[in-house]
Amino acid sequence: MTQSAPLLPAELDKMVQRFKRASEPKRRYEQLLWLAQKLEPFPDAGKVEANKVSGCVSQVYVTASLEDGKMLYCGDSDAQLTKGLLAFLIKGLSGTSPDRIVGLTPDFIQDTGLAVSLTPSRANGFHNIFKKMQALALALSNECKA
């Protein structure tokens, strides 16, 4: 690996590799739509302003909890591709320590091959979702240290 960024958490790396193997953008989109379908149902009670990801064209909600020192994320979106990106991040980051998540940079999206086929608004949405998940990890990490 030529990048100097920290190694990705195992599950996130597995997700990146799976998308990297998809030879064409259509296959990557199909994988995102499949992930969207597999996302756990999100309670309507969680669809409140505090859980909303700002800066997204779609309605996107993310919540997080800390169990045994590992982050667990839940979320939903009203747009299927965005929901797939959210599901990608939820699956890739859940089970990881908050400090590890806070230390990540979103460049791994380049390795998936998705970045080249995402519209600018979707790419921006992906970054906003990632930043929201990092902010939640930081908040929960700080609560534990307080």
Which among 56, 71, 114, 118 is annotated as catalytic?
Answer: 56
> Do residues 84 and 36 touch, judged by C-beta distance below 8 A?
yes
Verify whether residue 144 is a known catalytic residue: no
CA distance 18 to 31: 9
Q: Is 50 exposed, middle or buried (0-12, 13-18, 19+ CB in 10 A)?
A: exposed
Distance of CA 62 to the CA centre of its chain: 9
Amino acid at 119: T
Q: In 3D, which of 86, 81, 78, 75 has the Cα closest to residue 30?
A: 81
CA distance 127 to 18: 20
**Residues carrying an active site annotation:** 56
